[in-house]
Chains A and B, each alone.
Chain A
Amino acid sequence: MRIGVFVCNCGTNIAGTVDTKKVAAEALGFADVVYATNYMYTCSEPGQQEIQRAIAEQGLQGVVVAACSPRMHEPTFRRAVEKAGLNRYMFEMANIREHVSWIGNDREANTSKAIDLVRMAVAKLRFNAPLFSSKMPVNKRLLVIGGGVAGIQAALDCADGGMDVVMVERQQYIGGKMAKLDKTFPTIDCSSCILGPKMVDVAQKENITLYAASEIESISGYIGNFTVEIRKKTTFVNWEACTGCGACMEKCPSKKAADYFNEGLGAARAINIPFPQAIPKKAMIDAAYCRQLNGKKCGVCAKICPVKAIDFEMKDEIVTEKVGAIIVATGYDLFDHAVYGEYGGGRYPDVISGLQYERILSASGPFGGHIRRPSDGKEPKEIVFISCVGSRDASVGRPYCSGICCMYIAKQAILTRDHLPESNSYVFYMDIRSPGKNYDEFVRRAQEEYGVQYIRGRVGKIYRRGERMVVQGADTLLGVQVEVEADLVVLATGVESSLGAGELAEKLRISYDQYGFYMESHPKLRPVETNTAGVYLAGACQGPKDIPSSVAQGSAAASKVQSLFAHDTIETNPQVALVNERNCIACGKCIQVCPFGAIQWKELRGGIKKAEVLASVCQGCGVCNATCPPKAIQLQHATDNQILAEVNELCA
C-alpha cells in the first residue's frame, strides 16, 4: 500500500508545542509510507487540494492526516480523499491537537507522542479495506408517540405535508395536559378553544391514524424501516360502533369511579367519556369500578347502548405498523407532593396541586368553573400558592427548575381574582422565573393590577387549625417568620418525566437522564434529534417546557422528518459487523449478545447453520466481535487486526 501522511500545523495550535516537521520526517520511515509533509491548515480548501494533488501525483492508496480530533474533521477529509478517487475508508486520522498539543507544553514529549499516534494510524491503515454503503428505501410514514400538544403539532405538520401519520396515545383521549388547563399564560387564552380545533383536525385528517388508549409494545428496525407493535388496551367498548352519545354514562350505576381527568377531584362513572370535547369521543369502561366486570349483576350500559358497542369480553389487541421515522412526544407528569410531610403529605384535602386547581378553575371541571375548596365545597377567601414544590429541591431528588410554575401560579392568581374579586391571594416564591415574551410583564400585572401578595420565602409547614390551613413560612426580605391562615393552599407542583419514560426509552434505544427526561443529540445544535437515527423528540419528554416551546419543538421535529422523507432512500453505514462464514462455528453467541437483534441464523446447504449480520440493523457496536470465540465476526473498520496493529506499535 502506498500511504501519504499529512501533518497539520493548525496554525500554532499544533505547531506551537509539536515539531510537525519532525513528525512528518519520522513518518517517512514507517512501512508503506511513501509521502509525508506538514501543512499550515490541512482542513482548508488549499490543504485539501494538497492531499488530492499528492494522491494523484504519488499514486497514494491510503491517507493519514495528523491533525485535530476525528470527531471534528474526519468527514471533511473523507470527502476530500473520495473526490481524489480513494475509498473514503482508506483514510485515518491521528488526533495530535486535542490529545497532544493542547494538553501538554513539553515540546519534546508532545512530538514523540505525535509520532507514536501517526505510527499507530499508519499501522491501522495498512489493514483498512474499501467499504461501501448500500441504499435502503425509506418508508415515508411517521409514528408520533404521545398525543399532547407537541405530538399533535408534529402530526398535523407532517400530515399537511402529505405524509401518513400514525399517532399513539396512552390515554383514552388526545390533548394531553393542555386539555386539562383552563386558560393559558400570558394571554389568558382559553386552552380548549385553541387546542380544540387541532384535536378535531387530528381526528378528521384522512392520513392520520389515531390509536388512543394504546401503548407501544415493541419497536424493531432502524431509520427508514421501523416495525412497531402497538397494544390497543381493552376499552370494553367497540369504538368502531360507539358514537359517543353518552347514554351509557348517564345510566351507569357505578358513580364513584376515579376521575383521572379531574385529577381525582369529584368522581366519574365506571363507563366514561372524560370531557365533552374529547377526541376520540368514545366511551371506555374502568374495569376497577365496573360492576359487571367485578362479578356483580349489571350490564346496564350494554342494555342501553343504541349501537350495541359494549363488549365485556374484549381483550387487549396488538397491531403492527411499519413506519420510517418516530417522533417521541410523551410529555411529563406532575410531581406527587405526598413526599412533603411538612405540607401534610397529601392528607389535607384543601392542599392541592396546581393541576387540580386548574380543573377547579375550568368550566368543564368538577365544580363547573366555580372556585370551591374540595373539603367542604365552600368558596375560599384566602388562597395561598406555594412555588417550587418538587422543583429546585435536592432533598426530594428534583434539583432542577420546572420552568412553568412561576407563570402558571401568576395566571391562577389572576384568574382567582377574576372569579372571586373579594378573595386574597398570596404567593410564596424563591425567585420568579419569567423569561418569555410578555412573561415578566404578566407576573408584574398579577402584583400591580390584581394585588396578588408575593412573599419571598419558602414555606416550612402547613397544618390545620380549625377549618383553615395555617401556612407557616418566611419573608426572607424582612427576615421574619410569617403565617397566613388560608382556606385553600395550591402547591405549584413541579414537572417530572412521564411515568414509564425509561421503559419506552429502552424500547426506542434512546438515552435518558437521571430524571427520566430524554436526551437530545446535542443540547444546542441538535435539540430535537436523538442518538438513534430516525427517532426525534418534541415537547416536555425532553425536559420541562411550556406550551409555546412544546409546539415549536413539535414543528421542529416534523421538519426533521420531512427532510428525511424528502429522500426515497438512505445510505447505510458500512462500518458494521461481517461474518466470515468459513470461520463461524455456529455457536450463536453473537446472536445472543447483539443489543439490536441484528444477527440471525442463515442455513447453508446440508442444513449447516451460520450467523448472518443484517447490515441495515447493525449499529456497529462490536459486542459480537468481542464475544465471538474464533473471531469469525469482525466489525468493519475496527477489526481485530486493525486494533492489534495499533496496539502492536506500542508493544514494540
Chain B
Amino acid sequence: MLETDRNQLHKCVEEALPELDMMIGWTRCDPLQTTPVFIRDAKSISSLTLGPFCSQNLAGYLVKPPALDAPPKPDAKPIGICVKGCDSRSLVALIQEKFITRQRVRIFGIPCGGTVDWRKVARHVELGSVKSADVQDRVLVIEDSTTTHRIALEEVLSRKCLGCRHPNPVISDVLIGAEVSPRSTGMETSYRDVDELDAKPLEERLAFWQSELDRCIRCYACRNACPLCVCQDRCIVETREPRWLTQHVGVPEKFLFHFIHAMHLAGRCTGCGECERVCPMDIPVTLIKEKLNKIMEEMLGYSAGLDPEAVPPLLTFNPGETEI
C-alpha cells in the first residue's frame, strides 16, 4: 500500500515539477528516519518518500528568513510541498497570518496514520544495530543483526499522534493515498496528557515543570523548529532592546523562556509537535502549548490552522463576551 502511495507521489510530482520553483519533501536517511529534501531536478524525484517515518513538518521551510525578508517576485513559480494532516494546519496558519499566499504553494497532501518516535523505538531495540525497518499492518518490523523485532505501531507513535483529530490534510491540491479516519474527534480524547497533569495538585504540577525545565539548556531548538516561530533571530529571549531575559542559567529564566514561547503561540499553535520532537533534552514542550490550545478551544471555541479566513483570537476581541 505504501508502495502504491509512493508511486503515486512520484508520478504527481513528476507531472508538476516543471511548473514548480522546487519541491520540498522527505527522503530516507537511515532505516528509522527521514530528512527533508529540496528537489529541483526530475532525477531526484525517486528519492522522495512518505509514510510513518516522515516525522518532520516541512511547512516551516517556507517562511524562515532570509526567505521572509525577500518577498517572492510576483511571477515566482509556486513551491511544491508534502504535508501530513498536522503539517497542513501549519500551512493554513501561515496563510492566515499572510506569511505565504495560497498561490505560492502547491500542496501534496498525505493522509497520515501516525509517525514513529525513534525515542520510543529505542526502548525496544538498540538503535545502532537496526538494519531495516518497515511498517506492516500497523506493526513496526525491525531487523537487526540477529533478530526480527515486531512492535505494535501504537507503542512507538509520537505523543502528538495519540490524540490526533486531523490525520487528513485540511488543505491540499493533490491528495496522495486514501483518507484515514481520525483517532480522536473531540476535546475529551485529544487533551489526555493535559488533563492528566491538570488533575494533579498545584505543588506537583510546579514540581513537574521544575524538574522538566531544569534540564532545558536554552538551545532554542524548539523555537527554531516551530513553523510559526517567525521571529527567529529577532526573538526577544536574545535581544537587549528590549531585554526580557539575561543569560543567567536559572530555573526562572528557563520558565520565562518557555512562557514567552508559549504565549507567542497562544491562539496560533496547531500542535504539530515539532518543538518536542527536536528537544535534545526530551522535555515535553508541546504539552505547554497543548494546554493553551485547550484553553483557546474551551474559552473561545477556536482551533488554529483550520480556517484560512479566521483571525487568531488574541488579535481580535468581542465586546459582548463578558464571561469568557
Direct contact of A and B (CB under 8 A): yes
User: Which A residues lie at the B interface, using CB under 8 A?
Assistant: 580, 582-583, 585-589, 592-593, 606-609, 627, 629-632, 634, 639-641, 644
Q: Which of B201-249 contact A (CB under 8 A)?
A: 230-232, 234-236, 239, 241-244
Q: Are A587's CB and B99's CB within 8 A?
A: yes
B311 within 8 A of partner (CB):
yes
Residues in chain A near residue B235, CB distance under 8 A: 630
What's the Cα separation between A589 and B267 when bound, in Å? 13
Q: How far is the CB of B301 from chain A (nearest CB, A)?
A: 20
Q: Which applies to chain B's interface (DSSP): helix, strand, loop or mixed?
A: loop
Q: Are B71's CB and A609's CB within 8 A?
A: yes
What's the Cα separation between A592 and B315 when bound, in Å? 7
What's the Cα separation between A607 and B71 when bound, in Å? 7
Q: What are some 27 contacts across the A-B interface (CB < 8 A)? A: A583-B234, A583-B239, A583-B241, A585-B68, A585-B231, A585-B234, A586-B68, A587-B99, A587-B230, A589-B97, A592-B315, A593-B315, A606-B70, A607-B71, A608-B69, A609-B71, A627-B314, A629-B231, A629-B236, A629-B264, A630-B236, A631-B236, A631-B244, A639-B242, A640-B242, A641-B242, A644-B244
Across the interface, name the chain A residue whose C-beta is closest to B242. A640
B43 within 8 A of partner (CB):
no
Q: Are A644's CB and B70's CB within 8 A?
A: no
B98 within 8 A of partner (CB):
yes
Residues in chain B near residue A607, CB distance under 8 A: 70-71
Partner of B242, one of A582, A586, A627, A631: A631
Q: How far is the CB of B309 from chain A (nearest CB, A)?
A: 14
What's the Cα separation between A416 and B241 when bound, in Å? 76
Tally chain B residues at the interface, Cβ within 8 Å.
Answer: 24
4 smallest A-B Cβ distances: which pairs? A640-B242, A630-B234, A630-B231, A641-B242
What's the Cα separation between A641 and B245 when bound, in Å? 11
Q: Are A630's CB and B239's CB within 8 A?
A: yes
Residues in chain A near residue B242, CB distance under 8 A: 631, 634, 639-641, 644
Residues in chain A near residue B264, CB distance under 8 A: 629
Partner of A608, one of B71, B230, B234, B316: B71
Count of A-B residue pairs with CB < 8 Å = 57
Residues in chain B near residue A606, CB distance under 8 A: 70
Question: What 0/1 pattern do residues 258 to 290 of B give for CB contact below 8 A with A?
Answer: 000000100000000000000000000000000
What's the Cα separation between A588 and B100 when bound, in Å? 13
Q: Are B230's CB and A585's CB within 8 A?
A: yes
What's the Cα separation between A630 and B241 when bound, in Å? 10
Residues in chain A near residue B65, CB distance under 8 A: 585
A583-B234, A608-B69 known; A641-B243 Cβ under 8 A: yes
What's the Cα separation between A608 and B316 when bound, in Å? 26
Residues in chain A near residue B231, CB distance under 8 A: 585, 629-630
Question: What 0/1 pattern do residues 64 to 89 of B give for CB contact below 8 A with A?
Answer: 01001111000000000000000000
Across the interface, name the chain A residue whose C-beta is closest to B73. A607
Question: What 0/1 pattern do residues 93 to 107 of B give for CB contact below 8 A with A?
Answer: 000011100000000
Q: Are B230's CB and A627's CB within 8 A?
A: no
Q: How far is the CB of A634 from chain B (nearest CB, A)?
A: 7
Across the interface, name the chain A residue whose C-beta is closest to B97. A587
Residues in chain A near residue B99, CB distance under 8 A: 587
